[in-house]
Structure 1
């Protein structure tokens, strides 16, 4: 039974060790980059700019489009008037009425000349055969009127059109260049977001390391106060120390316990912040690789890198690209003032068609030509737009110069902070050596009874302050190095 309990305890201990994740600075950076929503949005913006660049290039290529439509009209188009239609429909009757008086007179005169022929002509008129001719002519006239019907009440149209730009005043080339620069700008903005995220991650990481070391320091200090409290209690019992000395130590003990509680809470919150940046669960137990490192050393920046200035900053590069985009926008606006030439061609079909009289069939024909557009008078609109675009380009250039000046100032400040942090660390190390020596002497003198309790507590407080200053100096020198790399635009993931 005891063996089973031991095995269960060991397995639970091993499981607890395995469940706790150990994170280095690089792994925290990589997790933050992989899980940050802002960077994911920046990646999508890069993808969007890539496809916009692809779309802009297609403006060099011919465009082919198809269109179709149907229209219902209330009345059809008529090529003949109502009077003309009526006249054609009564063509035979009208001709008969026009010829009948003359024909009657002709038959009468023929009868006087030759009674037999006159009688035969009279019989032909009375036989009705002439009315048949009139009806045939009426029908022919009606057929002719029907042939002129368009029947356009139901109209169908379909066509295919090809357009090839030949010269657009440089607009296509400028727009294509803008999309290329926009794609590059999206990449630089992604670099900026990445460096900002890495900076925030580094700050949270080293803050956690600092609080973890301060927790160990607070625990060590609490142990010192507890040991002193035990010694003073013994000395009170032996009559060597007073109750006042005991109460003073008790107060210090309570302060040490409260300080440990504050540091522990701060460490928990700092780890939660780091987990949030890394995309981990806020309650996940993590351990940082640098928590156990006694001396945190910063990477050195070469003199050559320090002399690079602000040119490597993605913000400056982004503003330079933006300036180029504004220059291309001037070309786009100016192109509106220039002629444009395009080749066009296509095929169009309609129903009813008019290529073989009016037919209710789909018939069409091809067409090809060129289209030239020349602006003549727009009351200076294009001129004013060019002036406005040039003003925007000038604004972008001045903004770049202003930001560059601020970044150069930031670089100088970061250099001074790095030097200051190095000096502070050197002073903290010397103070630490003196505080440790003073604590040893005070502790030894207290045990020998030649140094009062107050002096021991002062030595312990000085030791705590020196240890805290050393931890802060170590973290400051690492953060100062991070800030300097960020100012130089060199804060990249390994």
Structure 2
């Protein structure tokens, strides 16, 4: 029973240790990256591409904002105003006359009918006097009511309005502004394409630099092993008295040179890997293996270059940006021209106020609907718009000249890179031929040295020639790769 428990415990411990070992192997495993994966990582990591994307979103929102200028706009306005004096429809004389209307009536009756009333019976006089007194009081009260009715009480004014404005014709400025917004959206997209191509070009350069140095490192190691073996053979021959000490010193120098070359290649490879990791957004010290490092030879697909300037003109984002600049300048001129043209808009809304005058002066809110047409016609501005239009047309002419100059430079660049691709293909073919000659030369030299008919100096020269031929082959293969990338960038088709 105890043995069975012990066996189970031992199996659990072994299982845990195996799991830890597997996790350590996984964590220490090097990441294998292809060129496409490096490109995608670089595109995700590049900050300028993020900025370009945000600028594109900004331009799109501005384009949507410009579209709203075609639509009616609704606004609400509310005001309150307190004044020290109120508006009075009646003057002071009219107010006094109305307030004493009954008194004036009594005086008039006394002046016109006083003698006649004096001849009447006392009871009649008393009765008429009471009637006149009551009538005077009533008229005075009614006059005061009229004064109160005409009081405006405008010291505290509340007003509000909802206004709807629909542009009908703004001299073409709204159309031009919408075209400017569309062009800005295109510019943002073209800038993003330019940043994307620059990032891809940079990552391709770094990727093939690492591949080149990796193969040169392998070559340097092979060369070092070769010269070390030769150094060992020469020293054995010195011990046997077949070779001189001078030959041994010469070979020692070659060994030192090979070790120095390997050290330089190692240092360059470390720095190149750090640059590639930085572009991909990886830690600088993270070990990474590239797919093209695994093969013994760099896979090169030779492409026959074809001069295609039309493609460059159609796809280069730099030319598109310059064309956008020309189009922007033209639309800016149209916006300025609109300053000399009539502007027509429909307006309508609903307005309220307190006090209001729709039923006399009432101390409450009341309002009304209204519609109308607003027309603005510029008459004289001392040539301000004309001068601005001339300046804008001058800016358009400058932009056109810069566009033409850029087209000429890009045409020249495409021609140069096309020749460069063709030259790289020829160099690669020559390098491959030289490899065969160098291999045969080294084989013959080694064979002659073993037979004792060739000196160590000749063998070292053959080894150096073999090393140079192999290095030139690696450089030629990388030149073919990079020249193809250069051509894609020059044509604007680097994706």
TM range (shorter): 0.7 to 0.9
Q: What CA distance in whole angstroms lies between the structure 1 residues aligned with 2:409 and 2:416?
A: 10
Q: What CA distance in whole angstroms lies between the structure 2 residues aligned with 1:404 and 1:398?
A: 10
Once the two structures are superposed, the pairs formed by residues 278-317 of structure 1 within 5 Å of their partners are 278-293=280-295, 294-298=297-301, 300=303, 303=306, 305=308, 308-317=311-320
- 2:333 paired residue number: 330
Q: Is the 8 A contact 1:79 1:149 kept in 2?
A: yes
Instruction: Please give the TM-score of this superposition, normalised by the length of structure 1.
Output: 0.88
Q: Is the 8 A contact 1:352 1:362 kept in 2?
A: yes
Aligned length: 482
Q: Is the 8 A contact 1:107 1:122 kept in 2?
A: no
Judging changes above 3 Å, is the alpha-carbon distance between structure 1 residues 471 and 302 closer, same or farther for their aligned structure 2 residues?
Answer: closer
Q: CA deviation at 1:203?
A: 0.7
Q: What CA distance in whole angstroms lies between the structure 2 residues aligned with 1:433 and 1:339?
A: 83
Q: What CA distance in whole angstroms lies between the structure 2 residues aligned with 1:110 and 1:9?
A: 135
Q: CA deviation at 1:30?
A: 1.8
> 3-state DSSP class of the match of 1:388?
helix
- 2:377 paired residue number: 374
Unpaired runs of 5+ residues, structure 2, are 1-9
Aligned CA RMSD, in angstroms, stands at: 3.0
Q: What CA distance in whole angstroms lies between the structure 1 residues aligned with 2:320 and 2:201?
A: 19
Which of 42, 45, 63 is the aligned partner of 1:35?
A: 45
Q: What CA distance in whole angstroms lies between the structure 2 residues aligned with 1:468 and 1:261?
A: 16
Q: What CA distance in whole angstroms lies between the structure 2 residues aligned with 1:178 and 1:306?
A: 29
> 3-state DSSP class of the match of 2:151?
coil
Q: What CA distance in whole angstroms lies between the structure 1 residues aligned with 2:91 and 2:37?
A: 90
Once the two structures are superposed, the pairs formed by residues 166-177 of structure 1 within 5 Å of their partners are 166-177=168-179
Q: What CA distance in whole angstroms lies between the structure 2 residues aligned with 1:452 and 1:469?
A: 26
- 1:159 paired residue number: 161
- 1:102 paired residue number: 111
Which of 254, 257, 260 is the aligned partner of 1:255?
A: 257
Q: Is the 8 A contact 1:107 1:121 kept in 2?
A: no
Moved more, 229-238 or 348-357: 229-238
Which of 411, 414, 419 is the aligned partner of 2:422?
A: 419
Judging changes above 3 Å, is the alpha-carbon distance between structure 1 residues 63 and 16 closer, same or farther for their aligned structure 2 residues?
Answer: closer
Q: CA deviation at 1:211?
A: 0.9
Superposed CA deviations along residues 25-47 of structure 1, whole A, max 9, x for unmatched, are 12212222222221222222222
Judging changes above 3 Å, is the alpha-carbon distance between structure 1 residues 167 and 110 closer, same or farther for their aligned structure 2 residues?
Answer: closer
Moved more, 29-38 or 368-377: 29-38
1:407 pairs with 2:410 = yes
Q: CA deviation at 1:372?
A: 1.3
Superposed CA deviations along residues 384-407 of structure 1, whole A, max 9, x for unmatched, are 222222222212211110000000
Judging changes above 3 Å, is the alpha-carbon distance between structure 1 residues 319 and 225 closer, same or farther for their aligned structure 2 residues?
Answer: same
> 3-state DSSP class of the match of 1:336?
helix
1:187 pairs with 2:189 = yes
> 3-state DSSP class of the match of 2:171?
coil
Q: CA deviation at 1:299?
A: 5.0
